[in-house]
Chains A and B, each alone.
Chain A
Amino acid sequence: VAEADDSEELVRRCQAGDRAAFRDLFHRHRSDVARLVQRMMGPTADLDDVVQEVFFQVHRSIKDFRGQARFSTWLYRVTVNVVLMQRRAAKSRPILVEAPEGLTPASTGLSPDDDAARRARMQAFARLLERLSEKKRAVFVLHELEGLSAGEISEIVDAPVLTVRTRLFYARKELTEMLREEPALAALADELERDSAGRPSAHATEEAR
């Protein structure tokens, strides 16, 4: 999460009821929140609503933020809690849908075939993440995709660092074991296997160009 130097001042103004400051805060962090929500929930039609709910909760509880942690850590905590709440409210796993237009940019510089393969891998990976438990998924997303440390994650998910590391270990283990169940990811693993055996694959050739 991007954190500007004046974040503290912005938060203080929000706590004082400054509407413009809250709007600034929203503009500054909305993309990070949307990205985290999407990574935790997968491609979902409710993304707008969940992001809106996160900022509504931020507005409601920002007065309780005392600055013990970085604002971004606190914001992540709110986001994770809202996502978990939404999922529990749904009482079932969300139905994965095709990524809406605009969620997966086409301008990746890859050939149409490679881009299609990449999209298939993203969707397959989202399905695998979906099969993890809530706790393991949250830790995996925060560490592997958001790049947070175990210490930061422990603050966000309110669990000891050792627990975070254990969840991360098992999340990786389960994902690795499930990987070949998804054809798009099995193809990637096969490709990497061929590469490691010294036979250049079409993908590797494409990447070398």
Chain B
Amino acid sequence: MSEHRDVESEALDRVSRELRAEPSPELDWERIEQRLFERIDASRESAPARAGAWRVVAALAVAAVIALVAGAVLRRGAPTPARTAPVVAAARVIGPEASSPQDGATLAVGDTLLSGARDLVVEHAGRVSWTLEPGSRASVAELGEVARSPPRWCRAPSPRRS
């Protein structure tokens, strides 16, 4: 077996020597050279274009930074306006001692209606009136067209009797 291996090893050396002795392949060098230099030239031409594109991007970036910095400086120099909260009417709690009927036109989103021991009636003049049973609570979720029944701007939980 080892003799076999020696023979095969010798054969490997022999074929390696033969391959080493092979001259370099003869290629169409003129064509390769021409294509190589065409490629090099093309890459050189595209390089300035890429550089130009980068210059534009860089200029835009610089302009953006300047705008941000200038904006910050101007804001710091200008009198700071008072912080104003959005103008939202404070939610009211109507009842349980409120007079009845209540004017539906005065309701706003967020208002809460409470009926005490008595019914609380809300009237939308000329259109509809509705009644909150005693011991109930409702809050205005949305203002919209007042429908015949039930008013969709009103969410009335199940009546709670006290």
Contact = CB atoms under 8 A, between A and B. Distances in A.
Interface of A: 19, 23, 26, 30-32, 34-35, 38-39, 47-48, 51-52, 55-56, 59-60, 102-105, 118, 121-122, 124-125, 144-145, 147, 172, 175-177, 179-180, 185, 188-189, 192-193, 196
A179 B11 contact: yes
Identify the interface centre among A51, A121, A188: most chain B CB within 10 Å of its CB. Answer: A188
A39 B15 CA distance: 13
B145 interface: no
Contacts of A30: 29, 32
Contacts of A180: 8
Interface in B14-67: 14-16, 18-20, 22-29, 31-33, 35-37, 39-40, 43
A118 B22 CA distance: 11
A193 B11 CA distance: 9
Nearest to A196: B7
B144 to A, nearest CB: 65
B36 A32 contact: no
A185 B15 contact: yes
Given A56-B39, A125-B15, A144-B16, A102 B26 contact: yes
